[in-house]
Amino acid sequence: MNTEILKIKNITKSFNSGTQVTQVLKDISFSVLDGEFVSISGPSGCGKSTLLNLLGLLDTPDTGAYFIDGLQVSDMNANQRAKIRGNRIGFVFQSFNLIDEYTVIENIALPLKYRGDSLEKRHARALDCLDKVGLADKAKLFPSQLSGGQQQRVSIARALAGDSGILLVDEPTGNLDSKNGDAVMSLLQDLNSQGTTIVLVTHDPRYADMADRIIKLSDGLVLTDSTKQNEPINEVA
């Protein structure tokens, strides 16, 4: 049986705008197992990006608990969360978030610098990850010299470089045409088949259905949580 690596329990999250309080997430609970490919989908404003930020330790819940590898992280301070995030979580963003002044290999290697890895080790790891996404020949180019699909592949390589085992992917096809979007999703499926745990946020039902498990949100609540065989996932107490 696969190990439970992410678990959120009775999570709530609200945002204040002047005197108005908007509750974005309402008592959400679910777990993610090692090696799973989970999609989180739903209409705009349903809370899926807020949920991904909580999973990535970029934000904290108002109430409830969040565990990574059995360790409660929701009550950690900012420095503690940053350390866990750096070691355990890789991010892929819709807007790529590459640094224009850095080459492809420098972009991928940059997060490893903050871990104290040597330049030689950083570049070797970056080249290995570039090879995994099929762009080993683009190492010395700059982001502006790449297509949108290639830039997204570089951002995936950067997320892989930390060897975290977990990828949180936020609307990776949002800035791509359908051909490049399909290619990025195919790459994510390949990475998952090699053992990477993936949690994908997408508004596109077709891409959501490419995951092995599909969580649908509506108005801050989990509407459905099922596998491709439409089997409901039991909540973990």
pLDDT of 96 above 90: no
Which whole number is the average pLDDT over 77-86?
89
pLDDT of 229 above 90: no
pLDDT of 216 above 70: yes
Residue 10 belongs to some domain of the structure: no
Q: How far apart are CA 207 and CA 114, in angstroms?
A: 33
Q: Which amino acid type is present at position 39? A: S
Residue 112 belongs to some domain of the structure: yes
Number of domains composing the chain = 1
What pTM, to 2 d.p., does this model score?
0.88
Q: Which residue has the higher pLDDT, 13 or 235?
A: 13
Report the DSSP pairing between strands 63-68 and 90-92. Answer: unpaired
109 lies in which domain range? 35-59+82-227
H helix runs in the chain, sequence order: 48-55, 78-88, 104-113, 119-132, 148-161, 178-193, 205-208
Q: 203 burial class (0-12, 13-18, 19+ CB within 10 angstroms)?
A: middle
Render 30-75 in DSSP notation, one character per residue.
EEEETT-EEEEE-STTSSHHHHHHHHTTSS--SEEEEEETTEE-TT
Residue 105 belongs to some domain of the structure: yes
pLDDT of 30 above 90: yes
Mean pLDDT taken over the chain: 89
The DSSP 8-state label assigned to residue 171 in this structure reads S
Nearest CA to 54 among 164, 163, 168, 156?
168
Residue 202 belongs to some domain of the structure: yes
Per-residue confidence (pLDDT) for residue 116, from 0 to 100: 74
Q: How far apart are CA 181 and CA 147, in angstroms?
A: 12
pLDDT of 167 above 90: yes
Residue 180 belongs to some domain of the structure: yes
In which band, very low, low, confident or very high, does the pLDDT at 233 lie, cut at 50, 70 and 90? very low
**CATH for 105:** 3.40.50.300
| Contact (Cβ atoms closer than 8 angstroms) between residue 37 and residue 172 | no
Q: 84 burial class (0-12, 13-18, 19+ CB within 10 angstroms)?
A: middle
Residue 50 belongs to some domain of the structure: yes
Per-residue confidence (pLDDT) for residue 192, from 0 to 100: 93
Residue 11 belongs to some domain of the structure: no
